[in-house]
Amino acid sequence: MANQDQHTMQDPTTQYPKATPDWKQQQEEPGLQREMTPVPDAGEKSYKGSGRLTGRKAVVTGADSGIGRAAAIAFAREGADVVLAYLPEEEADAKEVVKLIEEAGRKAVAIPGDLKDEKYCEELIESAVKELGGIDILANVAGKQQFVEQIADLTTEQFDATFKTNVYSMFWLCKAAVKHMKAGSSIINTSSIQAYKPSPILLDYATTKAAINTFSKALAQQVGSKGIRVNVVAPGPVWTPLQVVGGQPVEKLADFGSNTPLGRAGQPAEMAPAFVFLASQESSYVSGETLNANGGTVSP
């Protein structure tokens, strides 16, 4: 994995290695990043901050691994204190992120729980207000993705769990957070290339990602007059635990991301700058927008 920082000019097609047969692996859901081969790059060694979020108070879901981990690390190195939401089973990964945030000189508050629980979502925001003194960045990153070949085999239980994790939790967290957010605050939700080019095996997941785009565009108009911005990051194929716990068929991981114009999968570290931009004042006139970080795949 590359260790150059995000400011060093380099060829994006070779910045990170392409998938190989070694990438074929499987874990039980929800999975741990530390047990993946290769271990994803979430910017642990490469992300360098420049004070763009000094004094901000952030909540990041899925903060233990993958894109949420990368966003949490970047937020801290840009000067924000961070509340981390993750499943209790992901504690080993989360501890690493807490350590990295504290090494950046910022406060880390770890609050494990299940986002499918409305009460947990409400308590997560209240805890942020109590522990950090407020909330001005909400990054909804956590997601559930399980491939199913045929609709006949897609259970109501899975369909419900995918929507609860990806859509309902976003609704609950946004609803709770807006009450406390001041002008200048930012909500960043996470969609996917699946919202535009849905894979037939990801029927429920792709549907939630389209819903996230539309929800965000509606909410952005609703809270714009309050000075709160709402935007979306829509990643393409990114190497995270989501892929190795049933998000993709194991055999497909050997060439994961190879169908993008850049010819490789993305790494979580490459998503972090998009979250930082949308959280920072640099994007002050950007709201209701979806930033596609997908390796060059054209989207509407």
- Catalytic positions are 205
Is the backbone of residue 72 left (phi > 0), alpha (psi -120 to 50) or beta? alpha
With vertex at residue 21, the alpha carbon angle to CA 20 and CA 22, rounded to the nearest 5 degrees, is 85
- CA atoms in the 13 A half-sphere facing the CB of 186: 28
Q: How far apart are the first and last CA of the chain?
A: 31
Contact 233, 170 (CB under 8 A): no
Contact 208, 194 (CB under 8 A): no
- CA atoms in the 13 A half-sphere facing the CB of 136: 21
Residue 148: C-alpha distances to residues 26, 144, 200, 205 (Å): 16, 13, 8, 10
Q: How many C-beta atoms surround the C-beta of residue 88 within 10 A?
A: 10
Q: Positive or negative, the Cα torsion across 109, 114, 116, 120?
A: negative
Phi, psi for 89 (deg, rounded to 5): -65, -15
| Nearest-angstrom CA–CA distance, 139 and 72 | 9
In the sheet where 137-140 sits, what is the strand order?
Answer: 108-112, 81-86, 57-61, 137-140, 186-190, 229-235, 290-293
